[in-house]
Structure 1
Amino acid sequence: MTTHAQKSTESTESTESAESTQSAAYGDSLAGIYDLLYPPSPEAGLVADFVHGLRPAPATLLELGVGTGRLAVPLAERGFRVHGVDSSAEMLRKLAENDITSTITSSVGDFAVSTVGRRFDVVLLALNTLFMLPSQEQQIAALRNIREQLADDGVAVLEMYDPMVFHGLDEPTVRVHHLAADSLVIDTVQVSRSQQTALVVHTVLGPGTVRKVPEVSRYAWPSEFALMARLAGLRITGRFSDWTRTPVTEGAQRHICVLEREA
């Protein structure tokens, strides 16, 4: 006989499995053009400086949602001992290609629930990756998972967009990214204010090809994020609007939060 609790557990596991599969599909779909969407920039060096100021190399660093190594590769070159986790095997294959020194270790996994099996001096979650989890409960679970993988004196660094970037949109918007002479990406953005979600559909146009990749982002307000962090056993020790430690003011389009384990 199946109990209500068992059904609830099975339903939750099924939902988490489906969402993990969707996340992997998203990463696999964009792996080939990800480095064109987010090309190397001086910001990667600023991130390395920011992290180095918190815990100097050769500190151990876990990057969740590592992608193709936009940040992981410069951090490893700086001397950090980096392990990256991503739900997409294709992303990790591109990471291995970009890591010409072969110093970065990696594993496929859902960063909201899976663990590496050891603890790190720094856990990094950049580029709004936390908001890719579609519910508040999953975001809290991810924060708990971050706490469990932090060393006692470790720090977590999370980069998130300010919700007003999307919440203030009154109607669907379109953005175009030119990737190369013969390809581009058209992003359509539609917001549900009541659900705190932004649906972004990436339409990738190439020579004779068209494909669509949907992305759902569930944003959290700064005060909400602070409460979620406390529920997960973390406390915010710093909040900045960029990687040069500019204080957050009205109109800042992103928040970079530094967190530590609660005693």
Structure 2
Amino acid sequence: MTTETPRQTRQRPHSDDSGASSAYGESLADIYDSLYPTSGPAVDSMVAFLQELRPAPASLLELGVGTGRLAIPLAAHGYRVHGVDASPAMLAKLHENDTTGEVTTAVGDFAALAVEERYDLVLTALNTFFMLPTQEQQIDCLRGIHDALADGGAAVFETYNPQVYHRLTEATTRVGHLAPDALLLDTIQVNQALQSVLVVHTVMGSGRLRKVPEVSRYAWPAEFDVMARLAGLRVIGRWADWDRSPVTDQAEKHVYVVERQTV
């Protein structure tokens, strides 16, 4: 496995749709850490999963790194972490959170990923892969990941189970609490034919109202397998969570591990 320090990320040409991802991050960077806890059992189990897969001090590339929720604890456990995100505001928050300055970052669209270095691990967590809105862009991302992997490297994807949304036949609203004086309303609409989910996040608090749309395109497990093969990768494991529990229809998430195909 490689021992190079990750330093540089560039972009391959593609049909650009990075604006939506950037707008999502720019709109939610200030509350993102309230939406997704930066510590606790979920983060601990993710670190343990990766430690078993490729132990530190492996080099790790996180796509859609956000505010560093996973990157910072991974760096604290000895991984050499480089993160890519389309949102400068997210990365600015990451560097505020990363008091030791261990995580390196780059602004970029991971659908057009092209890197100079090779990594022992590539991580795409928290449904980020599904935020690429077309099958073509998802395959392009997988090709970029193929090229970014070192010999013997592995890529890990955390996605929602498509069944979670595909079974919704009408608009649904969910309510969450951000703070004593702030609420988050998520209105969810699903287009089953397009495998598309539109979530409108409405943040209410302190006399302000903010709406942030989020679009994702889910891929069924069999489709994910085919897309991976088209990109020169193969799925070697799929679980319902970081604890390697078996997949069921009721599982809320899927965790995939892929490697390069062998000739």
Superposed pair shares fold, TM > 0.5: yes
Partner of 2:24: 26
Partner of 1:43: 42
Render the CA deviation track for 1:27-77: whole Å, top value 9, x for unaligned: 000000000000132211111110010111000000000000111111011
Using the alignment, how far apart are the partners of 1:220 and 1:82 within structure 2?
27
Question: What SS does structure 2 have at the residue aligned with 1:24?
Answer: helix
Using the alignment, how far apart are the partners of 1:69 and 1:44 within structure 2?
11
Partner of 1:95: 94
Instruction: Point out the more displaced range, 195-204 or 114-123.
Output: 114-123
Render the CA deviation track for 1:160-203: whole Å, top value 9, x for unaligned: 11111000001100011111111111110000001100100001
Using the alignment, how far apart are the partners of 1:59 and 1:124 within structure 2?
12
Partner of 1:6: none
- Structure 2, unaligned runs of 5 or more: 1-12
The answer on 1:135 being equivalent to 2:125 is no
Render the CA deviation track for 1:104-151: whole Å, top value 9, x for unaligned: 000000001032321100000001111000000100000101111000
The answer on 1:52 being equivalent to 2:51 is yes
| TM norm structure 2 | 0.92
Partner of 1:260: 259
Shift of 1:204: 1.0
Using the alignment, how far apart are the partners of 2:20 and 2:123 within structure 1?
22
Partner of 1:176: 175
User: Contact 2:113–2:141 (CA<8 Å) still a contact in 1?
Assistant: no
Question: What SS does structure 2 have at the residue aligned with 1:142?
Answer: helix
**Structure 1 segment 40-119 matched on structure 2, within 5 A:** 40=38, 41-119=40-118
Question: What SS does structure 2 have at the residue aligned with 1:260?
Answer: strand
RMSD over aligned Cα atoms: 1.1
Partner of 1:149: 148
Question: What SS does structure 2 have at the residue aligned with 1:115?
Answer: strand
Using the alignment, how far apart are the partners of 1:116 and 1:94 within structure 2?
23
| TM norm structure 1 | 0.92
Cα gap change, 1:189/1:250 in structure 2, threshold over 3 Å: closer, same or farther? closer
Using the alignment, how far apart are the partners of 1:90 and 1:156 within structure 2?
26
Using the alignment, how far apart are the partners of 2:192 and 2:149 within structure 1?
33
Using the alignment, how far apart are the partners of 1:211 and 1:119 within structure 2?
40
Residue type matched to 1:110 in 2?
A: D
- Structure 1, unaligned runs of 5 or more: 1-11
- Relative contact order, CA 8 A, sep 6+: which one is greater? 2
Partner of 2:217: 218
Question: What SS does structure 1 have at the residue aligned with 2:111?
Answer: coil
Percent identity among equivalent residues? 60
Using the alignment, how far apart are the partners of 1:217 and 1:68 within structure 2?
20
Using the alignment, how far apart are the partners of 1:69 and 1:34 within structure 2?
10
